[in-house]
Structure 1
């Protein structure tokens, strides 16, 4: 059996009740249409972590659970993660950054002891 890719939803700006209602409808539709059990919510461009954002994420999680799934947050800001923890909500988090935000891979330098035999 082939694994189903997670559905994805992007949350941007400041959320209010109407935006939350629309997001929950979209989440329900996406989960049903794709058959996915995970809804990845990209929250990198979400507005300030106010209680309306916390409410929206809690409602999205409830919507996903009712559809037989769960949500996973992509790239949440540290203050959003802290606020979620403070109010007792926890979500699986995946961190994805744009290529230009990644730090270049460091070079590995191995120290060789004088007593080590050559390879």
Structure 2
């Protein structure tokens, strides 16, 4: 895993399925590395945001990336805890 230069992603609003697909394709194409994903734009939290984070996490894990989410607000943290995904933060 190359940790010298992390891959940086940003979710700056409610994600459309095409956006999530594009980000997952980017993770699929990259060599295993640390991936830092800014998710502050997902507030207010919704199911689309939770689904997007879960899909990104699964893709990252499958490709050997270490995924780190940053910038989550209290509402999104609570939503992720509710769905058993609190460990993503």
Answer yes or no: same fold by TM over 0.5.
Answer: yes
Deviation digits for residues 19-63 of structure 1 (CA, Å, limit 9, x no counterpart)? 21111112223x32xx41x21110122342111111110010111
Structure 2's unaligned 5+ residue stretches are none
CA RMSD of aligned residues (A): 1.8
Give secondary structure in 2 for the equivalent of 1:20.
helix
Tell me the residue number matched to 1:14: 14
Tell me the residue number matched to 2:82: 86
The structure whose Rg is larger is 1
**Alpha-carbon distance change, 3 to 16 in structure 1, aligned in 2, over 3 angstroms:** closer
Tell me the residue number matched to 1:72: 68
Give secondary structure in 1 for the equivalent of 2:5.
coil
Q: What is the number of residues matched between the two proteins? A: 87
Structure number with greater CO (CA < 8 Å, separation at least 6) is 2
Which protein has the bigger strand share?
2
Give secondary structure in 2 for the equivalent of 1:48.
coil
Which protein has the bigger helix share?
2
Deviation digits for residues 41-89 of structure 1 (CA, Å, limit 9, x no counterpart)? 1012234211111111001011101111231111111111111011001
Matched, 1:51 2:40: no
Structure 1's unaligned 5+ residue stretches are 94-119
After TM superposition, the score normalised by the length of structure 1 is 0.65
